[in-house]
Amino acid sequence: MTALTETPNVTERDLGALVKVYGEVTERLKNSHEVLMHEVRRLREQIDEKNRELARRERLSALGVMAAGVAHEIRNPLGGIGLYASLLERDLIDRPKQRDIARKIGAGVEKLEGIVVDVLAFAGGAPPRCAPTRLSDIIDGALSVTEARFSADGACVDVSPEVRDVLWHCDEGKIRRVFVNLLVNALDAASQGAHVRIRPGDALPWSEDDGIELYSVVVEDDGPGISADRLHKVFDPFFTTKDTGTGLGLAIAHGIAESHGGRLTVRNRRSGGAAFTLSLPVATNHVAA
């Protein structure tokens, strides 16, 4: 006789458990799909941002080469004009009116020379000569340069003690210039009675590209802030909302930060005013011993 194979009984409980397992697996797959889609969107946005930054750097590089060439061509005849103006001023000592005109010519040449220097700085000069530098030395140097301007405007600067002993691996002179530009920009934005603060920024433990440890410092003011349509333009060369100036200060500061392997960003504060965040590589540790 042929043996009969009994079919196991499948109860409703077994079917329910099976359906539940399938449901859980489906839900996990759905969640995994959503996570992957979110990560894909994030990576696409990151790639788009990198592409925009690369295109921006290429434009600025081309502009810098052109600007450097023009600046060098202007500098030579400008030096001659300044020399002749000083000789005229010396020879016209007995004619005050004419001597005053020669002095004005010399002052105009000095102003143009300052613009040429800014253009050359934007175009890029010698690479930074980096060494462990205490942040307090950089800030105090920048404050000494801007002290007269702050006093004249009745403004004040508060420096958080936490940032003073930080050691950055940087070129002290170049980073001091960044702080001078940021302080002057804050004064121009907030004008009379400005309150400017220098404080630690949000933690940035590692840069995305090569794992360099960064420390961030924020320079913020209590002015009106930057309008949304201008916020993305503040680091563009020759962009300015001032009646005077070349619009190169922040562009130079941005370039210096990048040449150090760091970054300079800007945002509007919720309480009003603008906040510039400078992030640079630390020298071995966040805080000096």
Q: pLDDT (tens digit, 9 = 90+) per residue, 128-184?
A: 889 999 999 999 999 998 888 888 888 888 899 988 888 999 999 889 989 998 998
Which residue reads 């001597």 in tokens? 99
Please list, in sequence order, all residues whose beta carbon lies within 8 angstroms of the beta carbon of residue 120, skipping any fewer than 6 positions away.
Answer: 67, 68, 71, 72
Q: Is the pLDDT confidence value at 65 over 50?
A: yes
Q: What is the pTM of this model?
A: 0.65
Q: Is 134 exposed, middle or buried (0-12, 13-18, 19+ CB in 10 A)?
A: middle
- Residue 97's SS3 state is helix
DSSP conformation class of 5: P
Task: Tell which wins on pLDDT, 182 or 78.
Answer: 182
Confidence label for 235 from pLDDT (cuts 50, 70 and 90): confident
In this prediction, what percent of the chain has a pLDDT beyond 70?
A: 80
What does CATH list as the number for 131-287? 3.30.565.10
Q: Is the pLDDT confidence value at 286 over 50?
A: no
* 148: enclosing H helix or E strand: helix 135-152
Between the alpha carbon of residue 49 and those of residues 43, 98, 251, the distances in Å are 10, 57, 19
Q: What does the pLDDT look like over 248-280, one tens digit per residue?
A: 788 888 888 888 888 899 999 888 888 999 999
- CA–CA distance, 214 with 212 (Å, rounded to integer): 6
132: β partners = 169
Confidence label for 56 from pLDDT (cuts 50, 70 and 90): low
So what's the pLDDT on residue 199? 92
Average pLDDT over residues 223-238: 81
Q: Could you tell me if 261 and 212 are in contact, meaning their C-beta atoms sit under 8 angstroms apart?
A: yes
- Residue 6's SS3 state is coil
Q: What does the pLDDT look like over 83-107, one tens digit per residue?
A: 888 888 888 888 888 889 888 988 8
Q: Could you tell me if 139 and 177 are in contact, meaning their C-beta atoms sit under 8 angstroms apart?
A: no
Query: What does the domain layout of the chain look like in residue ranges?
Result: 10-125, 131-287
Q: Could you tell me if 206 and 214 are in contact, meaning their C-beta atoms sit under 8 angstroms apart?
A: yes
Q: Is 234 exposed, middle or buried (0-12, 13-18, 19+ CB in 10 A)?
A: buried
So what's the pLDDT on residue 287? 44
